[in-house]
Structure 1
Amino acid sequence: MTASRRAAALAVVCLALCLALTSPSSGTAPSSGTATPSLRGEAAAVLDATGAVSVTVRVRDGRHTEHAAAGEAVLGGGRPVPHGARFRAASVTKSFVAATVLHLAAEGRLSLDDTVEHWLPGRVRGHGNDGRRITLRHLLQHTGGLHDIDTTRFTGRTAADFERRRLDRVDPRRLVTAALEHAPDFPPAAPGDPAPRWNYSNTGYLLLGAVVERAAGRPWPEEVHERIVRRLGLRGTRVPGDDPYLRGPHARTYHRFEGSDRFTDTTVRSMVWADAAGALVSTSRDLDRFFTALLTGELLPPRELAALRSTVPGNEEHQRYTPGMRYGLGLMRQPLPCGGGRWGHHGDLEGTFVRTGFTADGKRSVVITVNGRTTDEDRLLRTEKILQDLIDRKLCGR
């Protein structure tokens, strides 16, 4: 082969490799990654209305994807948010854990009707708590009555508290023990109750992480990696473990704590305490890929997918922030103004909002991240409405 032919052949191989490495997985392939002036304007409007430091918006309609960002990656630095930014997904982690539990159920490794006592003998006892009455389905759906964790006992309420404790490695078992010092919020839901009592409980998902380890024989992050992350090619998704840093391109996160008149940088912090309830790091592209695969049956068989989508109404407190919200197994559903519903999960952490929305058929999606958060309830409610209105408009094709 001549040098010129070898060069041409090499070029063809390189082109094929590049296409293989850069083409997104099925169901999310974009025809364009550029943002229209309209989407850039909407991202800037969210920034202005919320007083945040940065906002990113990713919108997909079929195979056409747009992403826009507004604000600064570093407060006062003037640098824009990098494309493909990593962020702490917070409670979106629960959807990954729920999908893993359902995958194990599909394999017969566990049953959703198994009790917590069966997998974690003696772990949920005392103060009226009884793991013999609470099933894995209860934990997945927040209908078991377990008291939620007060994370501020370990992370603090003030900026000074956070600065002192940001690198503390708090064993999640300590948080479960602290939650179990409280009586249950209510008795576990009866089987088949269409409107059971409901209360969001991180405690239950910390216990689910331990159940996955018992059932699978390895830590839940490894199960999530093998069953979801590696399988779907989620290149920006990981469980950081002891690593307090956001690796790769990212924007910094900022929180205005109680009693403070300025933002505190919350980017570098230990997330060991959040574990299976909220430790995951991801990207907008990866969350789009994951939820689309989840909702369209790529990850789960029909029976488990039906269980995932079987919802109960959220409580009054959560309805204030997420009107009409119903909760499946690690998955939220809210009504769309144009009919039908949107699916996904929210993530909240000191400094960050993560909001996701997907049509039931997976053809349209929105992923929003906002950096720059406050503890002021009126501002939180206002921000929530702005973000959810944007999701509704985009999923309704407006």
Structure 2
Amino acid sequence: MHSDAARARRRHGPLAVTGALILTAGVAVAPGSVVPGSASAGPDPGDRLQRDVEGLHGLGITGVLAEAHTPEGRIAARAGVADLRTGRPVPPGAHFRAASITKTYVATVVLQLTGEGRLSLDDTVERWLPGLVRGNGNDGRKITVRHLLQHTSGLRNFLLDIPLLESADYYREHRFDDYTPDRLVGLALGHEPDFQPGETHPDGTPKWNYSNTGYVLLGMIIKRATGKDWQDEVGDRVIRPLRLHGTYAPGHRVTLRRPFVRGYHQYGADAPLTDVTLLDPSVADASGAMITTLGDNNRFFRALIGGRLVPAPLLAQMQRTVPTRWDGPYEGSRYGLGLFWYPLRCDRAGYWAHGGDMLGYKIREGVRADGGRAVTVAMASQLAGEPADRQGMAARAAIENALC
């Protein structure tokens, strides 16, 4: 669930514990060393990643982890603490809420089902969920699976009606609420759509609005098409084949598996950080409920962009993008089917990503178009106001530095 979405649309600490490591062929290499076969010019990639992680921590983020897969090997960096109360250092291999990265998993399953002929990107929501999307100008007969995947359906984002991100008191009172997909969709259908599905701007480009509602509907369509919950399909088709041992859909479990980093949310620019680790993830469902690790996240995106999960013609469909028209940390971004594309200073092909925000957690990643480099940065705080903008820009800079 991108909490940045609403902000982008409106605007168009403790002593750090740090460490960086380059691993190649199972051997640890000290930062500053040159791995055989790598270029010796330029800053050491481990040192650079560590500096970027420490810079993020210096903005007020409680705990930061990063992991990159490069031709030189695997690089890891961390800074800060996992728990403000105990001062416990950030552990390697920590679990984080994957948040909206869940959407890329769900999109992958939908594209696989499309390749198997079990559904079509041009199927309407009405075909799979008859009568569900109706009222207040919403019409499932006009919305296709492709519209849902690409955020061009016009459906309102249900998250705008759940003030978990706006009020610490609301969080404390409602953090264990049990949400059903029908309830989440119903929140969106209580409003008129932001625009009609497939509607365009005067210049002919599609209107686009990030909506978690579309991916909850996709989860429902997966169940209707397969007879199994989206969580089971993601597990069978992606998690287990790739051996993503730290990645899972938690159901209604409000805690994360150990090791983990506690998440903190700032409710207002001058407000203290609130521990928001405990949360029933049904509030996000197929739009953002999953949990992962940095290594798993890199492995997943490299496999997807490398063509191991979706047939080439359908991967090409995933990578057909429309402009988001977002600014700040999203400047120049485009969106495909469950994938963001960003420009990259060192490669005209750019990089692919998704990223996600879930109350107290912010995770960003990127993989080069050739799959040769991938990086994930996870942050255990969501800041407010101008610090939030700086957090987003610094995270994007760290991604670019690791990919270039």
Q: TM-score range by the shorter chain?
A: 0.7 to 0.9
Q: Are the aligned partners of 2:126 and 2:140 in contact in 1 as well (CA < 8 Å)?
A: yes
1:165 aligns with 2:174: yes
Which amino acid letter does the alignment assign opposite residue 141 of structure 1?
A: Q
Amino acid at match of 1:394: A
- The structural deviation recorded for 1:375 is 2.7
CA distance in 1, matches of 2:29, 2:93: 13
RMSD of aligned Cα (Å): 2.0
For the residue of structure 2 that corresponds to 1:140, the secondary structure is helix
**What corresponds to 2:34 in structure 1?**
none
Candidates 309, 320, 323, aligned match of 1:313: 323
The aligned counterpart of 1:118 is 127
Give deviations 1:256-302, integer Å, cap 9, x for gaps: 11387321111111111200000000000111111000001000111
Equivalent position amino acid for 2:330 in 1: T
- In the alignment, the residues of structure 2 paired with residue 35 and residue 126 of structure 1 have an alpha-carbon distance, to the nearest angstrom, of 61
Deviation at 1:83, TM superposition (A): 1.2
Q: Which residue of 1 aligns with 2:299?
A: 289
Distance 1:305 1:35, change over 3 A: farther
| 1:89 Cα deviation after fit | 0.5
1:333 and 1:274 map into 2 onto residues whose CA distance is 23
Q: What does residue range 215-234 of structure 1 map to in structure 2 within 5 Å?
A: 215-234=225-244
Question: What SS is found at the alignment partner of 1:60?
Answer: strand
3-state SS, counterpart of residue 255 of structure 1: strand
What code does the residue aligned with 2:353 have? G
SS at match of 2:241: helix
Is residue 152 of structure 2 the alignment partner of residue 143 of structure 1? yes
197 and 250 in structure 1: CA distance in 2 versus 1, 3 angstrom threshold: same
Which of 337, 342, 347 pairs up with 1:339? 347
**Residue 164 of structure 1: how far off its partner (Å):** 1.0
Return the offset for 1:390: 1.2
2:73 corresponds to 1:73: no
Cα pair distance change 1:182/1:34, threshold 3 Å: farther
Q: Secondary structure at the match of 1:268?
A: coil
Tell me the TM-score normalized by structure 2. 0.86
More helix by share: 1
**Partner Cα distance (1:145, 1:261) in 2:** 34
Q: Identify the residue that residue 42 of structure 2 maps to in structure 1.
A: none
Count of residue pairs the alignment pairs up = 364
Tell me what 1:105 maps to: 114
Hey, what does 1:4 align to over in structure 2?
A: none
- CA distance in 2 between counterparts of 1:30 and 1:154 reads 47
Tell me if the contact between 1:31 and 1:64 (Cα under 8 Å) persists in the aligned partners.
Answer: no
Task: Tell me the alpha carbon deviations over residues 351-385 of structure 1, each in whole angstroms, 9 at most, x when there is no partner.
Answer: 11100111011110110001122232x21111111
Output the amino acid matched with 2:395. L
SS at match of 2:247: coil
CA contact (8 A) 1:30 1:65 kept: no
Residue 62 of structure 1 and its aligned partner are, at CA, apart by 2.7
Instruction: Work out whether residues 328 and 393 of structure 2, in 8 Å CA contact, stay in contact via their aligned partners in 1.
Output: no
Q: How many angstroms apart in 2 are the aligned matches of 1:257 and 1:56?
A: 23
* Pair member with larger Rg: 1
- Deviation of 1:230 (Å): 0.5
Task: Select between 67-76 and 95-104 the one with higher mean Cα deviation.
Answer: 67-76
Contact 1:100/1:223 (8 A) holds in 2: yes
Q: How far apart, in 2, do the equivalents of 1:330 and 1:34 lie?
A: 36
Q: Is the 8 A contact 1:89 1:281 kept in 2?
A: yes
Does structure 2 conserve the Cα–Cα contact (< 8 Å) formed by 1:295 and 1:360? yes
Task: Confirm or deny that 1:82 pairs with 2:91.
Answer: yes
Q: Deviations over 1:221-252 (max 9, x none)?
A: 00000000001000001100011110121111
* Preserved CA contact (<8 Å) 2:165 2:267: no
1:157 offset after TM fit, Å?
Answer: 2.3
Paired with 1:241 and 1:277, the residues of 2 have a C-alpha distance of 13
Distance 2:275 2:30 in 1: 28
Give the Cα–Cα distance (whole angstroms) in 2 for the partners of residues 34 and 251 of structure 1.
26
1:172 Cα deviation from its structure 2 partner: 2.9
Amino acid paired to 2:286: A
**Equivalent residue for 1:237, pick from 230, 241, 247:** 247
Q: Report if the CA contact (8 A) 1:33-1:66 is conserved.
A: no
Q: Answer yes or no: is the 8 Å Cα contact 1:194–1:312 preserved in 2.
A: no
Tell me the percent identity.
Answer: 44
Match of 1:93 among 73, 87, 102: 102
Q: 1:42 to 1:319 in 2, by over 3 A?
A: closer
Read off the aligned partner of 2:315 and give its amino acid letter: L
1:389 alignment partner AA: A
- Name the residue aligned to 1:383: 391
1:203 aligned counterpart, secondary structure: helix
Name the counterpart of 2:4.
Answer: none
CA contact (8 A) 1:35 1:67 kept: no
Q: 1:259 to 1:133 in 2, by over 3 A?
A: same
The one-letter amino acid of 1:352's match is Y
Q: Indicate the residue corresponding to 1:127 in structure 2.
A: 136
Per the alignment, residue 189 of structure 1 pairs with 198
- Give the CA deviation at 1:151: 4.7
User: Aligned match of 1:262 in 248, 267, 272?
Assistant: 272
1: CA distance between counterparts of 2:86 and 2:182?
39
Q: Which runs of 5+ in 2 are unaligned?
A: 1-22, 32-45
Q: Secondary structure at the match of 1:98?
A: helix
CA shift digits 1:293-332 (9 cap, x unpaired): 00010001111111011101003xx333301000000000
SS at the partner of 2:69?
Answer: strand
